[in-house]
């Protein structure tokens, strides 16, 4: 049994910039999970952590305490190695959909526990639920069987996995403490370490559409998570990737599934293909399979075969027509020239307001809602050309979505030679 402490003393310690002891951390996580520490007390502690930070020892101990609050999964019975990917969230970030079957087609099993969208960032489970019949909830036994049979599974985390994180995550979302790097790192890594994967590749987004707005903050988060994973015996690597512009040419659930299938068919937007292949190569190398070229598996159709089996194994129909929104509205270019910028955050908010996202976890989403992108930065446009198409079942939502896009894009004259968009992959962090 953990040594008893007092919640107010723990709050005061972090408020006054003191280090929390191992026993304080173990106690407060356990007591909060059991309901002995109230939400308002944990809210105060989360704010103190946001303002005053934690050192590496504190973050590592906090993460271990979150893992200890629940069960740990074990994939050692599988005949192939495992690797997972986690993205810190962005706009149009559909990478998990083509990535999981692609890596599985290369001989590495992918146990991908994913989440739902909240606010301007999309959720992988919401995207997949736009496929008729597909279900997110699997038991641990069903997940293990699908990994053995298919090689890839994307599903919701079970109730028993890091329950402290589930409770704390919901609290952070409504108390303005989501951005605390120690809490982001421990939230992500407690689930991933408890999940039991042998290797982990982190896609840490940076830019207007990401939680980390600066490269320095993104690098600090990436380094913290790489250290946590490595110290826990999980081979962990992070890529810093640009989220100033949406990924691909869609933001919205069924729209992104359609685009993901295009990638698996050997097509799709260049940036989605580039990032999918880069993350696949990192996952294969971390899992000890660096000699396999994932690009071959896109070309020969084997990644698509795994996708179809993965969707069908969870009750989905890979041949079913995807939902289409009943109403659409075009946003037009205002001048001739080169599109210089397209703000990811603004596009994400517009998709959210159209019905693709939710303000609260319990809100429904529209499967067909979202934003279709007809021009990306660096491309030439003509006045009156379609830049974006907005999709929704609820036409009354257009006005607020359009207002979110005010100032979201800029067009420069041809002669001005605007700067090219930043590189998609900014940095790589490893031990």
The residues annotated with a catalytic role in the active site are: 86, 165, 172, 187, 191
Contacts of 101 (CB under 8 A, 6+ apart): 110, 151, 152, 264, 303, 304, 306, 307, 310
CA nearest 210: which of 307, 298, 89?
89
Measured between alpha carbons, how far is 17 from 253 in angstroms, rounded to an integer? 43
Q: What whole-number distance in Å separates Cα of residue 369 and Cα of residue 215? A: 31
HSE, side-chain direction, 13 A CA sphere, residue 385:
16
Q: Which residues pair with 206 in a beta bridge?
A: 212, 242
The DSSP line for 64-106 is: HHHHHTS-----TTSSS-B-EEEE---SS--THHHHHHHHHHT
* Residue 37 DSSP symbol: S
CA angle, 203 then 205 then 207, to 5°:
165
Q: Which residues lie across from 386 on neighbouring strands?
A: 332
Rg (CA), the chain: 22
Structure-block tokens of residue 309? 């089996």
The length of the chain, given as a count of residues: 431
Task: List, in sequence order, every residue forming a beta bridge with 341; answer none if it has no partner.
Answer: 410
- In 3D, which of 397, 199, 359, 227 has the Cα closest to residue 283? 199
Count Cα neighbours of 370 within 13 Å in the Cβ-side half-sphere: 31
Q: How many CB atoms lie within 10 A of CB 176?
A: 12
Q: SS3 of 314, please?
A: coil
Q: Provide the CA 21 distance to its chain's centre, in angstroms.
A: 31
């Amino acid at each position: 049994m953990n040594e008893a402490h007092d919640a107010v003393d723990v709050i005061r310690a972090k408020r006054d910039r003191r280090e929390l002891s191992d026993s304080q951390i173990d106690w407060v996580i356990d007591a909060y999970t059991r309901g002995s520490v109230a939400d308002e007390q944990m809210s105060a502690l989360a704010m103190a952590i946001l303002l005053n930070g934690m050192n590496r020892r504190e973050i590592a101990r906090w993460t271990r305490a979150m893992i200890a609050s629940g069960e740990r999964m074990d994939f050692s019975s599988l005949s192939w190695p495992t690797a997972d990917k986690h993205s810190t969230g962005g706009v149009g970030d559909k990478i998990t959909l083509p990535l999981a079957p692609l890596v599985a087609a290369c001989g590495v099993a992918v146990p991908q526990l994913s989440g739902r969208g909240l606010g301007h960032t999309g959720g992988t489970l919401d995207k997949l639920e736009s496929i008729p019949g597909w279900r997110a909830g699997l038991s641990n036994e069903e997940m293990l069987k699908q990994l053995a049979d298919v090689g890839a599974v994307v599903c919701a985390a079970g109730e028993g996995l890091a329950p402290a994180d589930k409770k704390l995550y919901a609290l952070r979302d409504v108390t303005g403490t989501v951005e605390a790097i120690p809490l982001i790192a421990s939230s992500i890594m407690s689930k991933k370490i408890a999940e039991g994967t042998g290797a982990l590749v982190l896609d840490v987004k940076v830019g207007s559409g990401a939680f980390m707005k600066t490269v320095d903050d993104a690098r600090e988060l990436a380094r913290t998570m790489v250290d946590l994973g490595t110290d826990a015996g999980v081979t962990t690597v992070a890529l810093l990737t640009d989220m100033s512009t949406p990924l691909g040419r869609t933001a919205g659930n069924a729209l992104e599934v359609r685009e993901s299938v295009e990638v698996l068919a050997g097509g799709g937007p260049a940036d989605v293909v580039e990032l999918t292949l880069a993350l696949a190569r990192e996952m294969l190398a971390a899992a000890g399979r660096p000699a396999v070229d994932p690009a071959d598996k896109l070309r020969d159709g084997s990644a698509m075969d795994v996708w179809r089996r993965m969707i069908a194994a969870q009750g989905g129909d890979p041949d079913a027509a995807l939902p289409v929104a009943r109403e659409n509205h075009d946003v037009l270019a205002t001048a001739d020239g080169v599109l210089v910028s397209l703000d990811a955050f603004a596009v994400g908010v517009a998709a959210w307001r159209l019905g693709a996202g939710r303000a609260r976890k319990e809100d429904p989403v529209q499967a067909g809602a979202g934003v279709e992108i007809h021009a990306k930065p660096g491309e030439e446009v003509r006045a009156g050309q379609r830049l974006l198409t907005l999709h929704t079942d609820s036409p009354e939502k257009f006005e607020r979505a359009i207002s979110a896009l005010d100032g979201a894009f800029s067009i420069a004259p041809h002669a001005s030679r605007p700067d090219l968009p930043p590189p998609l992959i900014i940095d790589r962090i490893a031990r």
